[in-house]
Chain A
Amino acid sequence: MRLSSEEVRHIALLARLGVDEADLEKFSEQLSNILENFEILQRVDTTGVPPTSHPVALNNVLRDDEVAPSLASTEILANAPREEEDCFRVRAVLE
């Protein structure tokens, strides 16, 4: 499986990951090499084998919905790049 620079650009867009134009070719080579090495997976016979959903046998873990103390908004906002009126400040979503 070979990934072209164009495909790398598309994948980066799906992940909303900016990539330098200069790095596209290098990523394309490296990712292609990695994917080639992964072809071994296709040779494993998995007929009738269920996919793993959890490494240890646990079912959904539920708890009662109870009110408990939480962090103060000032503590939560302390790491915010930008805040305003006790909220995270974001860029315009609609333009």
Chain B
Amino acid sequence: MPLYNLSIHEAHDLLSRGEISSLELTKATLGRIDEVDGKLRSFVTVTRELALAQAQQADERIKAGDHAPLTGIPVLIKDNMCTKGTKTTCSSKMLENFVPPYDAAVVEKLNAQGMVMVGKGNMDEFAMGSSTENSAFYPTHNPWDLERVPGGSSGGATTAVAAGEAVYALGSDTGGSIRQPAGFCSVVGLKPTYGRVSRYGLVAFASSLDQIGPVTRDVTDCALVLNAIAGHDPRDSTSVDQPVPDYTKSLIPDLKGLRIGVPEEYFVEGMESGVEQVVRQAVGKLGELGAEVDWGVSLPNTPAALACYYIIAPSEAMANLARYDGVKYGFSAREAENMWDAMEKTRQYGFGPEVKRRIMLGTYALSAGYYEAYYLKAQKVRTLITREFADAFARCDVLVTPTSPTVPFRIGERVDDPMQMYLADVCTLPVNIAGIPGISVPAGFVDGLPVGMQILGKPFSEETLLRVACAYEQATDWGQRRPGV
């Protein structure tokens, strides 16, 4: 196996035994980027010099016996997390030249372990999208079929991990932006419980929904990365002060006594029959492994979740994006008549069409006369959706659903129909509404295209999700297949 296809734990063992160096691993990964990134476009920025320097430092650390699980392992960071001295663009013209003066909390934490960052990952502009086609720079291509989308918005993170351009990645998930592309690229993607990981230094999109999480090749790696990034941070007042367990301890492939619910509303109209079949078989497998499966769970407000999400997320986004005024940082329109004109033109030429749509949608939902019908109503429906999940988790340990209703769609197929694009997240966004954790694991293929299975649990039940994911992974070989790019 080429070095660039090693998992974190495999690479860690080889590094520990001195059989490989971080420098060798990093060079192999950078070589792989040279080989395939012209086709995939996973990266906005490749940080070659930085990675080589960090790899040398990591090798010194390891020699000195100071060896953490992620030391010396090449990582891609989605380009909406601040990296001191390295451009953080959000794949937007607005931040094309923005160089943060500080690191995001998660970047600090990876640095403390001896991070080797190979680059910053392409994404939908400001994380708004489901296909990575909304990047202001270029779309990212799915390594399983270059004419199809990788999903989004963390598309660069999931393609890089699937294709060997990074051993693991950090993504962010506001409505499915880690899980949906993980499903489309056949890798493991976890959205932790809201508040589990600090958002300090994550460029804000929708503050009550955003959460950072791992993108990895297997479930063990997912646990290792979560161990590294989870925890309370006083700089993010929404991060929760709860002890962080050792998540690798939950990797026990035994499902006896575990109650799994399958919510019928997630097998939605418009779901592809191939996807449905793959996911039903995967649930059947969990039953064979000893879990009790209840196929009749109902979450009746699920059909309203999409509307609820697309009111709340744009409302928060319009407030968060009001900071881009062309004064403090970012793009600034020069040719303008006065202050207001300058601000309007800065946003007109700095933001792409989807960002503009969401700013307008949010502005409308919050404006006088519509606030109660849209924003307030959506927040009440949010309460109902959260309660429904809580009721279901009183009877089931986890819920299992498809990650997406379809396999990866073709590039260009949905870009002119925003409503169709929004439907790509129909199975993932209720999870952000309720703030609960969710993981997508590879569950099979339809005509060579990946299908993901999503496992959901109550707040702070990441250990249970990892246990189910681990059991399924050990009983199947879907996660071991690599794309032929």
Q: Are A52 and B382 in contact (CB under 8 A)?
A: yes
Interface string of B189-210 (1 = CB under 8 A from A): 0000111000000000000110
Q: Is B109 an interface residue (CB 8 A)?
A: no
Known: A16-B344, A79-B329, A90-B339. A31 touches B237 (CB 8 A): no
Q: Which of A32-51 contact B (CB under 8 A)?
A: 33-35, 37-44, 46, 49-51
For the complex, count residues of B whose C-beta is within 8 A of A: 71
CB neighbours of B101 from chain A (8 A): 71, 75-76, 78-79
Known: A55-B434, A92-B339. A44 touches B384 (CB 8 A): yes
Distance of A34 Cα from B309 Cα, bound (Å): 12
Q: Are B237 and A61 in contact (CB under 8 A)?
A: yes
Known: A18-B347, A31-B360, A37-B307. A56 touches B384 (CB 8 A): no
Q: Are B99 and A81 in contact (CB under 8 A)?
A: no
Contact of B328 among A16, A41, A50, A88 (CB under 8 A): A88
Q: Are B344 and A18 in contact (CB under 8 A)?
A: yes
Q: Is B386 an interface residue (CB 8 A)?
A: yes
Q: Are B418 and A41 in contact (CB under 8 A)?
A: no
CB neighbours of A18 from chain B (8 A): 344-345, 347-349
Distance of A39 Cα from B367 Cα, bound (Å): 17
Q: Which of B337-374 contact A (CB under 8 A)?
A: 338-340, 342-345, 347-349, 351, 353, 356-357, 359-361, 363-364, 367, 373-374
Q: Are A56 and B435 in contact (CB under 8 A)?
A: yes
CB neighbours of B1 from chain A (8 A): none
Known: A37-B307, A78-B99. A17 touches B347 (CB 8 A): yes
CB neighbours of B361 from chain A (8 A): 31, 34
CB neighbours of B18 from chain A (8 A): none
CB neighbours of A50 from chain B (8 A): 380, 383
Q: Is B64 an interface residue (CB 8 A)?
A: no
CB neighbours of A51 from chain B (8 A): 376, 379-380, 382-383
Q: Is A20 an interface residue (CB 8 A)?
A: yes
For the complex, count residues of A whose C-beta is within 8 A of B: 52
Taking the closest CB of chain B, its distance from the CB of A77, in whole angstroms, is: 9
Taking the closest CB of chain A, its distance from the CB of B94, in whole angstroms, is: 11
CB neighbours of A58 from chain B (8 A): 195, 237-238, 240
Q: Is B250 an interface residue (CB 8 A)?
A: no
Q: Are A42 and B373 in contact (CB under 8 A)?
A: yes
Q: Is B271 an interface residue (CB 8 A)?
A: no
CB neighbours of A34 from chain B (8 A): 310, 357, 361, 418-419, 422
Interface string of B406-426 (1 = CB under 8 A from A): 000000000000110010000
Interface string of B288-328 (1 = CB under 8 A from A): 00000000000001011011101100000010001000111
Q: Is A67 an interface residue (CB 8 A)?
A: no
Least CB separation from B377: chain A residue: A41
CB neighbours of A61 from chain B (8 A): 237-238
Distance of A38 Cα from B305 Cα, bound (Å): 10
CB neighbours of B304 from chain A (8 A): 40-41, 43-44
Interface string of A53-79 (1 = CB under 8 A from B): 111101001010000000100011011
CB neighbours of B381 from chain A (8 A): 41, 44, 46
Q: Which 8 A-B pairs have the closest CB atoms?
A: A18-B348, A55-B435, A51-B379, A81-B332, A79-B329, A18-B344, A46-B380, A75-B101
20 new A-B contacts at CB < 8 Å, known A15-B359, A42-B377: A11-B363, A11-B367, A16-B344, A30-B418, A38-B307, A41-B307, A42-B373, A46-B383, A46-B384, A51-B382, A52-B380, A52-B386, A55-B435, A58-B240, A75-B101, A78-B101, A79-B99, A79-B101, A82-B332, A91-B338
| A residues apposed to B, CB below 8 Å | 3, 8, 11-12, 14-20, 23, 27, 30-31, 33-35, 37-44, 46, 49-56, 58, 61, 63, 71, 75-76, 78-82, 88, 90-93, 95
